[in-house]
Structure 1
Amino acid sequence: MKASDVRTKTVDELNDELAKLKKEQFNLRFQKATGQLENTARVRIIRRDIARIQTILRDKLSA
């Protein structure tokens, strides 16, 4: 997910996307704990997407 794509979304859409990503992050952590995680790079991608959305949300809410 690119920052330019995130900036075009509304605050509600960003909150929905953030909730979806956090749920996926939880599932990935659960898979890792049980030894079922195959794509370990996905953890890093999700973590960065969450940070990107939170940063842009903070920027939109403060403006």
Structure 2
Amino acid sequence: MRAVEALLLDVDGLGAAYLGGVRFHDLWRAGRIAAAAPGALQRADAMFATTAAPWCPMAF
């Protein structure tokens, strides 16, 4: 089985989605990522979905 790239994005977009501050669909609408496979945005949003908002207890 051959792997196919479903989303094309850079590390800052991935980091934003991983930390829960933004959805992949929002990044796509802003032109920050490209969806190369049908349903890729929906699958990525579902895989990275969280109910917790990003939070840092340390003041800078």
TM-score by length of 1: 0.30
Compare the two structures and name the one with the higher helix fraction.
1
Considering Cα pairs closer than 8 Å and 6+ residues apart, tell me whether 1 or 2 has the greater RCO: 1
TM-score by length of 2: 0.30
